[in-house]
Structure 1
């Protein structure tokens, strides 16, 4: 008998083990957080800002009324001449008088050179944020394709503080991710970065060099 046949015979003769039970993820997280006080909105905001700063990201607190004007001021300060945006924000950006608006309204093949070489910044929506890691949740769609957050040197992201979660599991549970996810979901912590074999981080190597989060908060939370 060959060695191969011998091995296969032994495998077939081995007792069949029972299938392992699937992990109870909710129970695991409940046990990890047992005895801990529930996170507050103020604590989530503070922790998210702290973690985002650690990853070299910038958080600017704004309100629903003034965020377009704040974005205009940031564009002027950072020398942004062209701002890529999706249809959901067109009216607000035009009303704020932001120059160089560039709607994402064509297939990428129709303007690839302009998109990659002549676009200073972009503005995207977010689905929420994770306080524990300082992470944005972005679900690209037809109005705001994935390239919007990956190509321009500066990425402005609009985040509603009402959609800040303590951790990733909390976001997945509260937003019911299991009921349907996009073909591509992004978790973004700071600007683009990479590392060499010595784990030396370099920022902006393969994507945005800057990430500015416009966090929508209440008036009393601006400071």
Structure 2
């Protein structure tokens, strides 16, 4: 028997005994961390995100736009790219315009304003699909109204996150959001601003995307922001 025949024979033998599919749900149930209450889970998520230079502001559903404006003013933003076809984009636009900050939007093909988009947009604003507590992550769900470039290109990314959509781990998020059905071309997982240490092992932010990541984390009424203090 030649070496080739020997290799093929081993492969046929291996295929004759199919590997058992892993019990994914049972694995995550056993291995993933679980928290006794919402506050502890939120504190873990926030600590994980802040560890990689993410800024988190605890807000309410009725006042997050005010915090958005305050953040924009603190950072000296001249303009913000908003998803004006969405409810959160319209709410943000009303507050931003009142503060004298210019509103930008995807109102024309990217080819017609690509240079301006990459050079002159100060910040992009999006919402998020859900959060993942274990890794300190937000899941972004790009759409035509809110393309992935809205969060990836501008130097500052400001993200609105409803903390009621928090999952313990990625597997739970996949199941809870039914990602097997109707998933977009790309799902974006974000834990902080863009960073790299490729050059001389020196950590640098903003090399391949936003240098600043700001999360407006909307709390339910029964959670007191003071309980989430470090």
- TM-score of the superposed pair, with normalisation by structure 1: 0.89
> Structure 1's 182 and 39: CA in aligned 2 closer, same or farther, altered over 3 A?
farther
Could you say which residue in structure 2 is the equivalent of 1:205? 207
Contact in 1 for aligned 2:34/2:168 (Cα 8 Å) = no
Moved over 6 A (4+): none
* Corresponding residue SS for 2:48: helix
How many Å separate the matches in 2 of 1:19 and 1:218?
Answer: 48
How many Å separate the matches in 2 of 1:78 and 1:12?
Answer: 63
> Structure 1's 6 and 186: CA in aligned 2 closer, same or farther, altered over 3 A?
same
How many Å separate the matches in 1 of 2:69 and 2:46?
Answer: 22
Contact in 1 for aligned 2:164/2:220 (Cα 8 Å) = no
Could you say which residue in structure 2 is the equivalent of 1:60? 57
Matched, 1:139 2:141: yes
Could you say which residue in structure 1 is the equivalent of 2:19? 20
* Corresponding residue SS for 1:76: helix
Which 10-residue stretch deviates more, 66-75 or 5-14? Answer: 5-14
The match for 2:195 among 193, 196, 199 is 193
Contact in 1 for aligned 2:35/2:41 (Cα 8 Å) = no
Could you say which residue in structure 2 is the equivalent of 1:81? 78
> Structure 1's 13 and 210: CA in aligned 2 closer, same or farther, altered over 3 A?
closer
The match for 2:3 among 7, 13, 30 is 7
How many Å separate the matches in 2 of 1:91 and 1:187?
Answer: 24
How many Å separate the matches in 2 of 1:37 and 1:182?
Answer: 29
Matched, 1:222 2:225: yes
How many Å separate the matches in 1 of 2:118 and 2:155?
Answer: 9
Q: Unmatched 5+ residue regions in structure 2?
A: none
How many Å separate the matches in 1 of 2:126 and 2:29?
Answer: 33
> Structure 1's 198 and 40: CA in aligned 2 closer, same or farther, altered over 3 A?
farther
- TM-score of the superposed pair, with normalisation by structure 2: 0.87
Contact in 2 for aligned 1:44/1:165 (Cα 8 Å) = no
Contact in 2 for aligned 1:59/1:214 (Cα 8 Å) = yes
For residues 109-188 of structure 1, what are the structure 2 equivalents within 5 Å? 109-188=111-190
Question: Could you say which structure has the larger radius of gyration?
Answer: 1
* Corresponding residue SS for 2:193: coil
The RMSD of aligned alpha carbons is: 1.9
* Corresponding residue SS for 2:173: helix
